[in-house]
Amino acid sequence: MEEPRIDALLPAEMAHKAEEIGVKKAQGAALPLFALAILAGAFIALGAVFATTVATGGAALPFGVARLLTGLSFCLGLVLVVVGGAELFTGNNLIAMAWASRRITTGALLRNWAIVYAGNFVGAIGIALLVVFAGHHHLAGGAVGATALKIAVGKLGLGFGQAIALGILCNILVCLAVWLTFSARSTTDRILAVIFPIAAFVAAGFEHSVANMYFIPVALLLEAIDPSFVAAAGVDVSALGWGAFFGKNLLPVTIGNVLGGSLFVAATYWAIFLRPRASQ
């Protein structure tokens, strides 16, 4: 009797697919890679804009419900990345699988991460600038802008070690979301694979480096471009500063993201499915 057909890839097949994708990404030409990374940064920032808007006024809802809605709205960012074929630093931590198999060099791995990280930053900052100049912060009588300021201040209040831990937890979920898309056979499959892990990390308050390239700079740009609004918002922004952004948040969160994606997801699945076995 013929075996039933399985449409979705099995985990072992997903591991080989992830490895091949990692090789292709590491060998990609710099300019297209950078352009696709700018798109990914912009896409994640657009998800962050959506999430900030949805989070405004959330105090009227039960805590968990408000967090869930915020997380679901943020999913827009990774859906755009995955379906649109953009290059996201956190997802590209899975390239470590190809590196562990010695299919790519350390230099090729770091080259991809550096180009994509820089492109993500450009894309996220670009959206932050557009959002501020568009006056998005004036929505709901300025409540949306106040929410953006509170989010940024909260992120800068994290301890260094705490930010690393939150970054690890975040990218475990992000890379698992990307990992699940490797089994997909349709666009619908890919979207559904993304929704729950991404909604979970946002609802739980974990830290994503590329999202933070929007969440904190948008508050910094608001302070620089519309200081009267910030002064009237009633939010203590004394902790805001570019130095604090890079040193107290982006650095530790990036470290955590790399550990979470490369070690806890990529290395684990590599060890299970791709690690060479001694002949019996």
What are the domain boundaries of the chain?
11-272
Contacts of 67 (CB under 8 A, 6+ apart): 58, 202, 203, 204, 205
Q: What is the mean pLDDT of residues 3-13?
A: 70
pTM of this structure:
0.95
Q: Give the C-alpha separation, 43 to 34, whole Å.
A: 14
pLDDT digit string, tens, across residues 134-143:
999 999 999 9
Q: What is the mean pLDDT of residues 158-162?
A: 98
Instruction: Match 């679901």 to its residue by tokens.
Output: 72
Please determine, for residue 204, whether its predicted confidence score (pLDDT) is greater than 80: yes
**Position 218, amino acid:** V
Which percentage of the chain shows pLDDT scores above 90?
A: 93
Which percentage of the chain shows pLDDT scores above 70?
A: 96
Q: Give the C-alpha separation, 81 to 245, whole Å.
A: 24
Regarding the domain with residue range 11-272, which homologous superfamily does it belong to in the CATH classification?
Glycerol uptake facilitator protein. (1.20.1080.10)
Instruction: Match 């490797």 to its residue by tokens.
Output: 182
pLDDT digit string, tens, across residues 84-113:
999 999 999 999 999 999 999 999 999 999
**Confidence class for position 280, pLDDT limits 50, 70, 90:** very low
Please determine, for residue 217, whether its predicted confidence score (pLDDT) is greater than 50: yes
Beta carbons within 10 angstroms of residue 156's beta carbon: 21
